[in-house]
Amino acid sequence: MAVIAHDPSRPTQTHAEVTRDVLKTITDAPTRGYYVLVFGMAFLVLVLLGTVVAELKEGIGLAGYAPPIMWSVYITTFVFWVGIGHAGTLISAILFLFRSPWRTAVYRATEAMTVFAVMTAALFPILHIGREWLFYWLLPYPNQRYLWPNFKSPLMWDVFAISTYLTVSSTFLMVGLVPDLAAVRDNVSGWKKKLYTALSLGWTGADSQWRHYTRAYLYLAALATPLVLSVHSVVSWDFASSIVPGWHGTIFAPYFVAGAIYSGIGMVLTLMIPLRKVLKVEHMITDYHFDNLSKLTLLTGSILFYAYGMEYFVAWYSGSTFEQTTFWRRAFGPNWWAGWTMIICNAFVSQLLWFRKIRTNLTSLFVISIFINLGMWFERYVIVVSSLANDYLPYAWGQLNPTWADWCLLAGSFGWFGLWFTMFYKNFPIVAIQEIKEMIPMPRRKSAEGAH
Amino acid sequence: MTMRPDDQQMTEAAPDGVGRRQFLKVLGVTGAGAATLSGCSTDRIAKLVPYMVQSEQQVPGVPTTYASTCAECSTGCGLHVTTREARAIKLEGNPAHPVNAGSLCSRGQAGLQALYHPDRIGAPMARNAAGGFDEITWDDAIARLAAQLGTANGRVAAINGYGPSTFSTLLDDMVGALGGRSVRWEAFGREAERTANFRTWGRYELPSHDFAAADYLVSFGADFLETWGATVQQQRGFAEAHGYGNGTMAKHVYVGPRMNLTAANADEWLDVPAGTEIWVALCLARAAAMHHGSPLAAQLAAYTPEAAAERTGIPAERLAHVAEEFAAASAPLAVAGGIAAQHRGAIDLCRATNLANIAAGSIGTTVRFGDGPAAGNDYGTVQELFQSMDRGEVAVILVHEANPLYALPKSGNFAATFAKVGFKVSTANVMDETAAACDLILPNLHALERWDDRAPRPGVLGLMQPVMEPVKPGMHTGDVLLAAARAVGGPLAGFTAQSFEAHLRSAWTAEASRRGAGDAEGFWRDALQRGGVYEPAAPAPAPALSAGAADLAPGDTSFDGDGEFLFLPYPTSQYHDGRGSNKPWLLENPDPVTKITWQSWVELHPETAKRVDVREGEIVEVTSPHGTVRAQVYVYPGIRPDTVGMPLGLGHTAYGRYAADRGVNALDLLGAADGQGFLPYVATRVSLTKTRDYRQVAKTEGTPRQLGRGIIEAMPLAHAAAGMTPKESMTAAGHPPHEVNTERELEAIDGWYEAQKERWNLGNYGADETPKWGMAVDLSRCTGCSACVTACYAENNIATVGEEQVFKGREMSWMRIERYWEGGEDGEPLEARFAPVMCQHCDNAPCEPVCPVYASYHTPDGLNGQVYNRCVGTRYCSNNCPFKVRYYNWLKYNESAWPEPLNLQLNPEVTVRARGVMEKCTFCVQRIRAAQHTARLEDRPLRDGDVVTACQQACPSKAIAFGNVKDPSAEVVRWKRDPRGYTMLEATNVMPAVTYLAKVRAVDPVAHGEAPAAGEAH
Amino acid sequence: MAAHVPGVLGAFLHVDAACDAIRELKASGHADLTVYTAAPNHEIEEAIGDPISPLRWFTLLGGLLGCASGFGLTIWMSRDWPLLVGGKPIAAIPPYVVIGFELTILFGSLASVAAIFILSARKSLKGRPYAPRFSDDQIGIFVPCGPDRADQVQAMLEKHGPVEVTRDA
């Protein structure tokens, strides 16, 4: 298939090949490795459940919270996963509007990742509150007592932003899936045929369907684009609209969005590099795609580099001793190790991507993507924990020591995410069949005659 | 709602033994007394009758207050006991009482936790063959006691720590009648002072000190704010004298090796080595004698500042300066004799201090004889008693209100000696060390459950009455003795009173006639209502100087052992002599100076720590010739580098679940033998050995430096007198201004604030007639004693969380005393600053808008409300609170904090918070509402002073004002107008409702680095 | 399965051929064609020449409705339970912009998706033949017609070199 590399934007030659290659990922029997993966993830989910039950029984204090650090690992992980959830919609919506051809091969996987990441993130706001069973009080539901939530609270903005984002991104994913599911339907038999028949909602690819479908898809993309940018801005305002030194910054929205995309693409790389091998779709998801992803990483990574620098500059330039102390302690305080992990992994490691050799070498790219995930988790840890640890009254300063409950929930979140993703890629077309076909010119009679 | 179970726990506490209906029934039939202050009887009601006839005094939901007397220490402060549905829920000071005048220290307030202690002994117990204890009946117990007393033929003894009272007299008389000896003994007996007074004036007694009248205070190791003397009274006086007002204040100088709470409130701390204080005292005496032309001048001529400087290492000019100030003062006062200076030279030190007072003409003015605190026998007598036990001369011993086997050093083998006594009886109602070594335990009723009285000093006769049914079925020791007497007969035939109550009544009838009160019944009734009889004692004539009073030959004070460090064990205001350490409130309310909870610690100066190479929390082994203890290091700038400090009062081996095996007992390092009649606490040298072990220090402080944030402002007297604001004072002293807004910013903020006001749909938090509550705290009066914190715990049902949670900083203290260090580096003198920090009820409260469910909101009367039932626990409010005064129920503290029957103490007016909700200071909203209801019922407007918050009520130095800031005549408004007033963290523009009045220090600027030439003078 | 629709079904491999066929059929009055493709294809769209989908109006209305309800919800609820927090106005507009925005997006998106179903349903495909290969690589053209015109239609399709033409009458 080497010939394909000539026109990178066209991974496969004919529509028939696309259908065949993509369907293989679903129809091939799962390997033993796959089951190991699934059960591993399921185990982590059990760990998560166990921790949650324990905390429901005893109280959230099982985690290592040490006032004044009232938010710690859980909120860190929440922001981490929300961030991951940004690459997907960015690639599928924004790049769709920009008509950039390289998105087609990877967007389905990233979009699935987005949905599952947001599903994971959405757990934490509920699990971190002290009375989990009352989380629904944050919803504006009509009730006898005429109590309404406080829409001035950034946490309410969160509720709306996250739920909207979850709804829209999963809708976007499903809408994109329908024609592909029809293709699957037409190529499987037995109970699977029944299943995919139901899922494909009677799609036939008739002109009367395409006519509205294509418009709807366009508008969804148009709506999702500002949404992506807004969601992490809103999350950033959880912090920025408070008066905690180290949180109270106007730079936060763009800084968080860049960070989100950066971490999201980091996760895409971590997932896709092994996945394309496992699913044998190397000829569809090629170096060309990774090269582009790397460039996007490099861009957002550099924005982060700037943001970090700007944070410190503003802290110094503000002349506020509170800000200055906070940032001094970020670098040289008790949490210095977290601070430097974040700067090195995000600001510096991303700069390696200036080199084409590194960008196109998947091994190095994979290693870098791991660093990105690590760095971005620590970025949130630094912002949440080391800012709270030392605010206005020194007498009230504290120091965090996370406990098993913190780590179990963190590990469990990866299990929860992983379980959904592994289930997905084996049962749904991980590469968008119809969009790739759309890019492959259909054969014409002349060329056909020429071929004879 | 999820809060309901806790509400029930709060209101329907019904432990075994004391059902509420029984309470109510009791009060139903109780007839005596007036409506608010009434007597009561403990007669048990056999038959339960429904509550059909409403008692006039007992309206359910309306508190009934009884007057009583505090039994937590020998000072005998007056109490007002608030009861609800016939259970005591709060102890407050009796305003009519001359000693404490309405306020109460932490230990006094914690008396409630002794009353409801979960480990109280429920029945008399006798030692069985196996060495354990069996519960027995009271009749059996009394029979056993009587049998032993009958057959002891004179070999009877008693150790009684209760002090002068009808009971003690009865005990002495009975023991005397049996031909035995009764010793009255308390751990901190101030024997050295009494001996010194004997040698100075020939009077073996203690004077009273008028701190309020003094304008210059010098303390030689006397911690008069913690454990030395009547601390509440002294603190009130100290605040009067040392608090800033009308441009003046007294100056306070502390002389001693460690900065304790008293020293931390001093304007100058002369950190002399232990044992050399006398040189400073004599130097002061000399200066005063010369200044006043006293005849002593000649004898004291040798004690020049230079001589003192040579012994103490304090620069001569500084000593001379202090001496001149002392001499020139119009009403100076020098005190000595605290545990911190109880070394082998203590008697001479006290004598020298007497000379200083004499030379300065303080006798009769600030030092008065005649109404000083009564004191018992000295340590020497106790030693003799134990010697006679050793010789087998004691067959029966009765220990009452004393715990000698804990409070005496192990090196004296007192336990072994005690064991030689044939029959040992204790009246402790908690199993303390001494009780555990006894053969018979006769649990006494708690002071709030019994008839009793005490005469802590001439002119004060305090009365106690049962304010509720006994929590545990105990028996009044007086009744036990009388019953035993009846059984023994013979020598005790004279004791015919049917009950101790009867005995007490007859004693008071006698007292009435002695005082010439015609109507004994009325006399009794008035005393019952007022909590006792208070008449100023007849002024005693100024004592004559005895010969050789001034013959002093101060030499080097001797110390046991050759360790590298001087060992300084000191009592803390919370644990006193160890009796406080079984009460969660006192254990969790941090030590005012070190801010450590629930633990023992070893204090090392930073230099020492560096030299020995240990860090905070590292466990070191402290070894003296008499013993070894292991405890974690606390690096403390307020102690001399050559001294190692340790708190007394912990390291119990018994004494209930909270005290047993907690920390170590510093007494283990002390020697016991001493010929001087007192226990020399500061008499050993110790060496430190590093261990590899570590234990986190359970302290509530984060970082003890202000980092130039102007949290606790202070200014020298000169600036305050000039009417400067804290900011002006800073500028005048050549310091950069703190993190505060510039003029232009302030203008902008004011404009914005006005604009906001108009847009607030509720106006400025309610219509004009709605009050707006505010508070002011005068930091020049606050001593950091933390009585307010305990009061807050008691009033607001605040849970104690225990050591493990304090490690995580999860203590729930709605009100905390922040303590910051200033100076102490590169030659600058160390200064401590204290400020109570509670919810500031900000106008622009940052905690409110971030709550997604409106659990935190602003009430129309300007309170920052917190709705527990609505709180889901996002904790954002706490993140956004710049003062970090919001406290979160991480775990089920409401289930762990009050093991029965401690839960009976809970205040029915305040919700017990469930796990998962945020809580914080409410400005005692329940008290505000109660006052408003009363005013409404009396159909009158709310007056200033109607609302008194718990902290304000308890504060011995009256440093807190509270009221309606819209009322121009309110005291709080007057305070807020003071130029010293400022709000914390002004730059955050949160507009707190709490104003702090800057601390004022009576120091000359040069010595204390106020002038640009900082530190050079030191 | 609803009433079977009689007609002729042609399967094409070449897009230009299919387009020619469509144009010719349309020209000869066969307006009601159904063209199956595995992916949207512009040439075919032009050949069919349907006007642009009215779906955008759904999106617009959904968005406007969302925005209105966002602000309406927040402002009404704050006034219905007026609590003062942090000295801020009871109904503070700036923070409510976020809610307004999010609901705009949410309603807009859901309206668009709903519109796909509504609009597609307007033309029923019930009873029209379909072959799995149309979701793979072939273009299907189904021309509903009675047996009388079937021959003519079949000839018209075959002229353009289809893979296969089936009559099912």
CB contact residues (below 8 A), chain C span 60-99, against chain A? 63, 73-74, 77-78, 80-81, 83, 85-86, 88, 92, 95-96, 98-99
Q: Is B846 on the interface with A (CB under 8 A)?
A: yes
- Measure the CA angle with vertex B576, ends B669 and B444; round to 5°: 110
Q: Which two tokens stand for residue A383?
A: 């912002």
Write out the two tokens for B423. 């029959």
- For residue range A413-422, list pLDDT tens digits in order: 999 999 999 9
**How far, in Å, CA of B595 to CA of B581, rounded?**
15
Contact between chains at C82 and B762 (C-beta distance less than 8 A): yes
Check CB contact of B822 with chain A, cutoff 8 Å.
Answer: no
Omega of the bond prior to B901 within 30 degrees of 0, cis? yes
Element (H, E) at B995: strand B994-997
CB A436 within 8 A of CB A86: no
Q: A72, A243, A385: which to substitute to probe chain B, counting the most B Cβ within 10 Å? A: A243
Q: Is A360 near chain B, with CB under 8 Å?
A: no
Q: Which residues pair with A10 in a beta bridge?
A: none
C15–A183 CB contact, under 8 Å: no
End-to-end CA gap in chain B? 63
C87 and B991: CB-CB below 8 Å? yes
Find the mean pLDDT for residues A239-248. Answer: 93
For the stretch B890-944, pLDDT in tens is 999 999 999 989 999 999 999 999 999 999 999 999 999 999 999 999 999 999 9
**Maximal C-alpha separation, chain C:** 82
| Inter-chain residue contact A130 with B884, CB threshold 8 Å | no
Residue pLDDT, tens place only, B43-57:
444 555 566 666 666
Listed ranges A141-145, A437-441, B129-133, C98-102; the one with the highest mean pLDDT: C98-102
Q: What percent of chain B has pLDDT over 90?
A: 70
Residue of B nearest to C87 (CA): B844
Assess C136–A contact: CB distance below 8 Å, yes or no. Answer: yes
Inspect the interface and report whether the beta carbons of C35 and A140 lie closer than 8 Å: no
Tell if the CB–CB gap between C83 and A150 is shorter than 8 Å: yes
Whether chain C has a CB inside 8 Å of the CB on B852: the answer is no
What pairing do the DSSP bridges indicate for beta strands B251-255 and B216-220?
parallel
Contacts of C88 in chain B (CB under 8 A): 756, 849
Whether the predicted pLDDT of B998 surpasses 60:
yes
User: Are A438 and A431 in contact, with CB atoms under 8 Å apart?
Assistant: no
Describe the crossing of helices B277-292 and B346-359 by its angle, rounded to 10 degrees.
20
CB-based contact C98 A14, cutoff 8 Å? no
Is the CATH code 1.20.1630.10 the one for domain A15-137+149-439? yes
Chain C residues with CB inside 8 Å of B845's CB?
Answer: 85-87
Q: Touching check for A154 and chain B: CB below 8 Å?
A: yes
Give how far B814 is from chain A: nearest CA, Å: 13
Tens-place pLDDT, residues B818-875: 999 988 877 788 999 999 999 999 988 999 999 999 999 998 888 999 999 999 999 9
Q: Are A62 and A54 in contact (CB under 8 A)?
A: yes
Other beta carbons within 10 Å of B355: 28
Chain B interface, best mutation among C85, C88, C99, by max B CB count within 10 A: C85
Q: Do B876 and A393 touch (CB under 8 A)?
A: no
Return d(Cα A61, Cα A68) in angstroms, integer: 13
Determine the Cα–Cα distance for residues A86 and B961; give it in Å rounded to an integer. Answer: 54
Nearest to A67 among B708, B809, B873 (CB): B809
**pLDDT category of residue B15 using cuts at 50, 70 and 90:** very low
The tally of CA atoms less than 13 A away on the side-chain side of residue B413 is 6
**Which residues neighbour B293 within 8 Å (Cβ) at sequence distance 6 or greater?**
none
What percent of chain A lies above the pLDDT cut of 70?
Answer: 96
Residue B361 has phi, psi (to 5 degrees) of: 75, 30
Better-predicted residue by pLDDT, A438 or B622? B622
Measured distance CA(B243)–CA(B980) in Å, rounded? 13
DSSP-assigned beta bridge partners for residue B79: B68, B93
Predicted pLDDT of residue B739: 54
Percent of the residues in chain B that have a pLDDT greater than 70, as a whole number? 90
Across the interface, whether the CB atoms of C35 and A207 are under 8 A apart is answered yes
Tell me how far apart the alpha carbons of residues A296 and A277 are, in angstroms, rounded to a whole number: 22
| CATH of span C7-50+124-168 | 3.30.70
B6 confidence band (pLDDT: 50, 70, 90) = very low
Could you tell me the pLDDT band of residue A260, with boundaries at 50, 70 and 90? Answer: very high
* pLDDT tier at B781, thresholds 50, 70, 90: very high
pLDDT above 90: percentage of residues in chain A: 66
Which of B198, B213, B208 is closest to B540 using CA atoms? B208
pLDDT digit string, tens, across residues B222-273 = 999 999 989 999 999 999 999 998 889 999 999 999 999 999 999 999 999 9
pTM of the model: 0.91
The reply to whether residue A321 touches residue B739, judged by beta carbons under 8 angstroms, is yes
Tell me, yes or no, if A315 comes closer than 8 A to chain B by beta carbon.
no
Whether B858 and C84 lie within 8 Å, measured CB to CB: yes
Residues of A within 8 A of B705 (CB-CB) are 394
Distance from CA of A140 to the nearest CA of B (A): 10
C126 in Cβ contact with A204 (< 8 Å): no
**SS3 state at A113:** helix
| A415/B565 Cα distance (integer angstroms) | 58
Say whether residue A171 is in contact with chain B using an 8 A CB cutoff: no
Which stretch of A150-164, B551-565, B833-847, C60-74 has the lowest confidence by average pLDDT? B551-565
Residues of C in contact with A226 (CB under 8 A): 101, 105
Per-residue pLDDT of chain C (169 residues; tens, 9 = 90+): 456 788 889 999 888 889 999 998 888 888 888 999 988 888 888 888 888 889 999 999 999 999 999 999 999 999 898 888 888 888 889 999 999 999 999 999 999 999 999 998 888 788 888 888 888 888 999 988 888 888 888 888 888 888 888 887 5
Tell me the mean pLDDT in the region B190-219.
Answer: 92
Q: Please answer yes or no on whether B882 and A391 come within 8 Å at the CB atom.
A: yes
Which pLDDT score is estimated for B38? 41
C81, C82, C86 member nearest B849 (Cβ):
C86
Put simply, the answer to whether B760 touches C83 (Cβ < 8 Å) is no
Please state the ipTM of this predicted complex. Answer: 0.91
Contact: B853, A154; criterion CB under 8 Å:
no
The three-class DSSP label of residue B582 is coil
Instruction: Check B848 against C85: CB less than 8 A apart.
Output: yes
Indicate yes or no: CB of B809 within 8 angstroms of CB of A244: no
Per-domain residue ranges of chain A? 15-137+149-439
Please check whether residue B844 touches C, CB under 8 A. Answer: yes
Any CB–CB contact under 8 A between A144 and chain B?
A: no
Q: How far does B671 lie from chain A, in Å, by closest CA? A: 39
Q: List, as ranges, residues 905-924 from B with C-beta within 8 Å of A.
A: 915-918
Interface test with C, best of B749, B750, B752, B759 (most C CBs within 10 A): B759
Q: Where are the domains of chain C?
A: 7-50+124-168, 55-122
DSSP lists the bridge partners of residue B965 as none
Give the start-end residues of each E strand in B376-472. 396-400, 423-426, 440-441, 452-457, 460-464
| Residues B552, A14: Cα–Cα separation, whole Å | 115
Q: Which of B703, B807, B820, B874 to mutate to test the interface with A (most CBs of A within 10 A)?
A: B874
For residues B851 and B856, give the distance between their C-alpha atoms in angstroms, rounded to a whole number: 6
B757 has pLDDT over 80 = no
Radius of gyration of chain B (CA): 28
Predicted confidence (pLDDT) per residue in A329-341, tens digit: 999 988 899 999 9
Write out chain C residues lying below 8 Å of B877, CB-based.
none
* Cα–Cα distance, B803 to B453 (Å, whole number): 37
Instruction: Name the helix (H) or strand (E) containing C166.
Output: strand C164-168
Chain B hits for A128, CB-CB cut-off 8 Å, are 874
- Residues 6+ away with beta carbon under 8 Å from B227: B188, B338, B339, B571, B572, B573, B576, B577
- C38, C83, C105: residue with CB nearest A168: C105
DSSP, res B568: E
Closest of B395, B253, B227 to residue B1003, by C-alpha:
B253
Contact B708 A321 (CB under 8 A): yes
Q: Are strands B994-997 and B773-778 parallel, antiparallel or unpaired?
A: parallel
Query: C99 vs chain A: nearest CA distance in angstroms?
Result: 6
C27 lies within 8 A of chain B by CB:
no
Q: How many C-beta atoms surround the C-beta of residue C34 within 10 A?
A: 23
Q: Which residue of A has its CA nearest to C102?
A: A161
